[in-house]
Structures are given as structure tokens and as C-alpha cells.
């Protein structure tokens, strides 16, 4: 279903009259675990925020832009997003604003991470980046974990082991 959504909505830049909420629907079809989709997520949020009239989804897209930049390891893009759209990072949502429920932790996490980077507290930033990665892993529905397990270990734990193992290998190179 997400693949079909990406195909249908992925051409939003070429369509006239696209609204920000349509781009938000597209971003919901993109994975936080595939770097090419994460880059597309970052680019789509950035393009929508810079080129479309802002609506009730702008706060969400600003936070997702910062999240994608952080997950890609791009600190400069993360801080740039935070500074450029600083008005969207005040941690308060208006009643009519959209924000995906399982990502509401971003309302507090993104400003905290930006503050750590601005104060040159890289260790705290990285620590929160791992929390952000864990939150994206556990909220992605990767689990199916409550009912299924292998060798008595839930699927979510296997995904976490794989994820952290790959990150460890990546950092050793």
C-alpha cells in the first residue's frame, strides 16, 4: 500500500495546485529506514515548506524535515531547518493543526536536540539521536512483536539488534 502511495503521490512537484496536506500524505508513505526514502522525505518537506502556502500541516512537516535531517546524520541541515522554521518548534500545537500521533514526541525532541547542538553538547545530541532512532523504530509498526517471536525473542528486539548492529558497522568504517 505504501508503494502505491509513493507512486501516486511522488509526482506532487509536477502537479499544479498541490496543497501542503497532500505532501503530508505523501510523507506518510516514506520509510525512515531506507536512506533513499529518507532523503526524499527530507527533500519533500523542505520543498513543501519553501514553495507551498503553509496550512495546518506546516508544523508537522517542519518537525519531520528536522527528524529526517538528523536521521541522515546531516547536522547542518538539521540546524538550518530548526532556524529557518523556528516558529514551528515552540512545542504547542493549535487545535486544528495536524501532527501524526505516534510522532508527537518530536515536539519536545527536536528543540532539545537543536539546543544541544547549539550549545556544542554533541554527546547529548547523539544520545537523543539514538532515542529518536529507537522511537522511529518502535513506532513504525516494525514490531508485530507482541504476538510473534523467534527463539522467544520478540520481532522488535530482533529489528533493534539488527539496526544497532548495522549502525555499529557503519560507524566502524
Domain spans of the chain? 2-140, 144-173
* pLDDT for res 31: 84
> C-alpha cell of 109?
525532541
* pLDDT for res 146: 42
* pLDDT for res 10: 67
Mean pLDDT value of segment 131-139? 77
- Is the pLDDT assigned to residue 143 strictly greater than 60? no
Question: What letter would DSSP give residue 12?
Answer: G
pTM of the model: 0.77
* pLDDT for res 150: 55
* pLDDT for res 149: 56
Mean pLDDT value of segment 53-64? 95
* pLDDT for res 44: 94
Report the Cα 19 to chain-centroid distance in Å.
20
- Is the pLDDT assigned to residue 142 strictly greater than 90? no
Residue pair 71/136 in contact by the 8 Å Cβ criterion? yes
The beta strands (E) that lie in the chain are given as: 149-150, 153-154
Distance (Å, whole) CA 72 – CA 34: 10
Which carries the bigger pLDDT value, residue 111 or residue 1?
111
Backbone angles phi, psi at 108, to 5 degrees: -100, -35
Question: What letter would DSSP give residue 144?
Answer: -
| Rounded (10°) CA dihedral 29, 33, 34, 35 | 110
Q: What number of residues does the chain have? A: 173
Mean pLDDT value of segment 109-128? 95
Amino acid at each position: 500500500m505504501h508503494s502505491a502511495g509513493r507512486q501516486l503521490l511522488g509526482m506532487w512537484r509536477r502537479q499544479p495546485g498541490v496543497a501542503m496536506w497532500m505532501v503530508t500524505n505523501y510523507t506518510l508513505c516514506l520509510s525512515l529506514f531506507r536512506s533513499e526514502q529518507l532523503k526524499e522525505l527530507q527533500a519533500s518537506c523542505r520543498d513543501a515548506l519553501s514553495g507551498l502556502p503553509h496550512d495546518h500541516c506546516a508544523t508537522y512537516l517542519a518537525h519531520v524535515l528536522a527528524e529526517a535531517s538528523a536521521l541522515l546524520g546531516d547536522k547542518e541541515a538539521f540546524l538550518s531547518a530548526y532556524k529557518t522554521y523556528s516558529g514551528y518548534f515552540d512545542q504547542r500545537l493549535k487545535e486544528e493543526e495536524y501532527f501524526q500521533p505516534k510522532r508527537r514526541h518530536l515536539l519536545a525532541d527536536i528543540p532539545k536536540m537543536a539546543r544541544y547542538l547549539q550549545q556544542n553538547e554533541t554527546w547529548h545530541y547523539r544520545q537523543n539521536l539514538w532515542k529518536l532512532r529507537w522511537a522511529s523504530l518502535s513506532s513504525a509498526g516494525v514490531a508485530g512483536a507482541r504476538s510473534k517471536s523467534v527463539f522467544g525473542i520478540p520481532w522488535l528486539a530482533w529489528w533493534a539488534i539488527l539496526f544497532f548492529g548495522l549502525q555499529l558497522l557503519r560507524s566502524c568504517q
